[in-house]
């Protein structure tokens, strides 16, 4: 018995793999139906590059900027960071195109309304990733963009000022904000995204994809 067969006899992953992947593509789909999968692939790329960046990034007021400069000193560090930066932008583009496809084909209607709602949460979470990630380089552009963004949040009636103070960890954007944004970016948002992705895919597999183009 070779290693693969042994592992298979214990985990039974061939059967699991078949039930997840070995399904024929429905007829009537076209390339626009790939946009959700492309968004998912980009998310996985972000998790991978993000985890690697987290191995050298230091989320502290005194060292964040320097830790990024140090990353730039090596070619691979610069490439890693550029990848995370561009894939983040591309993910926002593909998620919006995916949403437009779903809207145009009317695929948000029952029984897929829960998919649309989970998708709306995924959109908010993705924008949250972009907003919190933007502060992490801790340069002038990052700082002032966050001052503007959190001031906009503070202008929301009733809950705005409280929410802004919660995210900033005080009345101003400071080192405390950097730590909060980092924990939101690298812990809270990935966990919440995994949860809503699970809902998104679970419902999708139960009701099947619409084929209305
Ligand atoms: C991280 C973000 C997202 C990922 C990874 C994702 C992934 C996917 C995938 C792989 C599919 C299968 C069909 C396809 O690829 O077109 C799908 C379907 C669907 N998605 Fe998303 N999605 C995301 C965000 C959204 C958003 C923002 C919305 C809308 C607000 C949405 C609504 C839907 C709906 C309604 C379907 C069912 C479509 C059908 O059956 O034709 N998704 N999603
Ligand atoms: C587990 C998932 C993730 C981890 C651990 C992670 C980690 C990091 C780290 C350590 C940085 C600071 C390094 C730098 O600024 O270059 C960063 C920056 C950033 N992240 Fe993430 N990230 C994750 C997912 C995402 C996702 C899904 C997005 C997509 C919207 C995203 C968007 C950004 C942006 C826009 C920046 C600023 C990039 C720049 O400086 O130009 N991240 N991330």
Q: What is the CATH number of the domain that holds 45?
A: 1.20.810.10
Give pLDDT tens digits for 32-66. 999 999 999 999 999 999 999 999 999 999 999 99
Instruction: Pick the atom of ligand 1 nearest to 212's CA.
Output: 41
Task: Decide if 19 is inside a domain.
Answer: no
Looking at ligand 2, which residue's alpha carbon is closest to its atom 14?
137
CA 35 to chain centre: 15
Q: What is the pTM of this model?
A: 0.93
Looking at ligand 1, which residue's alpha carbon is closest to its atom 31?
119
Give pLDDT tens digits for 141-180. 999 999 999 999 999 999 999 999 999 999 999 999 999 9
Task: Decide if 188 is inside a domain.
Answer: yes
Give me ligand 1 centre to Cα 122, in Å.
Answer: 9
Query: How many other C-beta atoms lie within 10 A of the C-beta of residue 182?
Result: 20
Q: Which residue range(s) make up the domain with 111?
A: 32-207
Task: Decide if 150 is inside a domain.
Answer: yes
Task: Decide if 16 is inside a domain.
Answer: no
Task: Decide if 140 is inside a domain.
Answer: yes
Task: Decide if 13 is inside a domain.
Answer: no
Cα separations in angstroms, 22 against 10, 19, 194: 21, 6, 23
Judged against a pLDDT cut of 60, whether residue 31 lies above it is answered with yes
Of 184, 175, 180, nearest to 143 (Cα)? 175
Mean pLDDT of the chain: 94
**Cα gap 213→211, rounded to integer Å:** 6
pLDDT of amino acid 213: 43
Of 127, 142, 12, nearest to 65 (Cα)? 142
Give me ligand 2 centre to Cα 183, in Å.
Answer: 11
In the chain, how long is the greatest CA-to-CA distance? Answer: 67
Task: Decide if 139 is inside a domain.
Answer: yes
Task: Decide if 107 is inside a domain.
Answer: yes
Of 17, 20, 13, 11, nearest to 201 (Cα)? 20
pLDDT of amino acid 38: 98
Give me ligand 1 centre to Cα 134, in Å.
Answer: 25
- How many domains is the chain partitioned into structurally? 1
Q: Choose which residue among 43, 54, 84 to substitute to test ligand 2 binding: the one with the highest number of ligand atoms within 8 A of its C-beta.
A: 84
């Amino acid at each position: 018995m070779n290693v693969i067969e042994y592992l298979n006899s214990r985990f039974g992953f061939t059967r699991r793999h078949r039930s997840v992947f070995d399904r024929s593509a429905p007829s009537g789909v076209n390339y626009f139906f790939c946009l959700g999968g492309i968004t998912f692939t980009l998310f996985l790329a972000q998790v991978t590059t993000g985890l690697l960046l987290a191995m050298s990034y230091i989320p502290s007021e005194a060292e964040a900027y320097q830790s990024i400069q140090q990353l730039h000193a090596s070619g691979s560090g610069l490439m890693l960071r550029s990848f995370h930066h561009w894939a983040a932008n591309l993910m926002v583009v593909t998620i919006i195109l995916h949403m437009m496809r779903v809207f145009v084909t009317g695929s948000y209607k029952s029984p897929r309304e829960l998919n649309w709602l989970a998708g709306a949460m995924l959109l908010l979470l993705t924008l949250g990733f972009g907003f919190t990630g933007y502060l992490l380089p801790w340069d002038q552009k990052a700082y002032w963009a966050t001052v503007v963004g959190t001031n906009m949040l503070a202008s929301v009636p009733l809950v705005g000022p409280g929410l802004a103070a919660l995210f900033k960890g005080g009345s101003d954007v400071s080192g405390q904000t950097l730590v909060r944004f980092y924990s939101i970016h690298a812990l809270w948002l990935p966990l919440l995204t995994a949860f809503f992705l699970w809902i998104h895919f679970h419902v999708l597999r139960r009701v099947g994809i619409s084929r209305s183009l």
